[in-house]
Amino acid sequence: MTPAAVPALFPPIVPGQVQRWGGAGVLVARRPGLPGLPGLPGLPGLHPEVPLAHLSPAERQVVRALPAWRQAEWAAGRLLAKRLVGAFLAAPAAGVEILPRDDGSPHVLVGGSPAPALHVSISHTAHHVAAALAPRPVGVDLCESASADAVRRVADHVLSPGERSLVGTDRPDALAGAWALKEAAVKADRTGIFGTAARGIAILGLRPPVLGGRRRAMAWQAGDAVLALVLAAPA
């Protein structure tokens, strides 16, 4: 007898389609499927998958300063975020820039001017890239189920005993979801996953995701990864 399929913890999300939730928008894609990749090969010091034609001069300056291994994923995330901003504003993506703040977090410029009413977050794994956009601070994170063993090894540093009991250790998607929720939350708060901040963000529920501190959270299954979206608590 074939064993019954284990129900998925999180609903699926369709790659390439904007998902709107809680006033935010999120977009995920498989990295090899992004339009504009590969980019322009033969440029010294530049990863061949960088979509140079889709980046502004300021974005090109940033990507050229990155290590080669980091260039393609950075560019892929910005390409997706630019498309998401363009969809929200009904504006050409070519007029959108996603540039780093001093702390490295991304912010949006449209027509060369900052867009303070828009908050953006970006995440990527080896196989996926995601971007989220919202009118209040937002965090997005991807964690592959194959990373469950790594999450188990650091669980004591990130999850409280109550959270470990809630999440369990037998389901890779649950572990990936817990990590992605914590990572997305600290991004929304603009803090760090390995400091004390992550332990202060309580996971109260996983299906559906519920976080402490008046944050709003959602999670989806994106292929072999869990995608988490967190909106920071209102000011």
Higher pLDDT, 219 or 197: 219
Instruction: Judge if 154 and 54 occupy the same domain.
Output: no
In this prediction, residue 8 carries a pLDDT of 84
pLDDT at 219 over 90: yes
pLDDT recorded at residue 115: 87
* pLDDT recorded at residue 1: 38
Average pLDDT of the segment spanning 202-220: 95
CATH number at residue 174: 3.90.470.20
pLDDT over 80 (residue 2): no
* pLDDT: which is higher, 143 or 37: 143
DSSP string, 153-201: HHHHHHS-HHHHHHH-SS-HHHHHHHHHHHHHHHHHHT--TTSSTGGGS
Question: Which pairs count as long-range contacts for 154-158, CB under 8 Å and 24+ apart, including other chains?
Answer: 157/194, 157/198, 157/199, 158/182, 158/193, 158/194, 158/198, 158/199
Both 152 and 203 in one domain: the answer is yes
**Do 85 and 106 lie in a common domain?**
yes
Residues 131, 149: one domain?
Answer: no
Q: How many domains does the chain fold into?
A: 2
Asked if 126 and 209 sit in the same domain, the reply is: no
Q: Provide the token pair at 202.
A: 């309580």
Quote the domain boundaries for residue 202: 142-231
- In this predicted structure, the answer to whether residue 30 has a pLDDT above a threshold of 90 is no
Domain assignment present for residue 11? The answer is no
Can you tell me the distance from the alpha carbon of 113 to that of 48, in angstroms, rounded to the nearest whole number?
30
What is the per-residue pLDDT for 193? 63
Q: Summarize the confidence of residues 64-83 as an average pLDDT.
A: 88
Rounded Cα gap, residues 184 and 24, in angstroms: 14
Residue with the larger pLDDT of the pair 46 and 181: 181
- Which of 118, 135, 152 is the C-terminal boundary of a domain? 135
**Is 198 in the same domain as 125?**
no
Average pLDDT over residues 40-59: 65
pLDDT at residue 34, rounded to an integer = 54
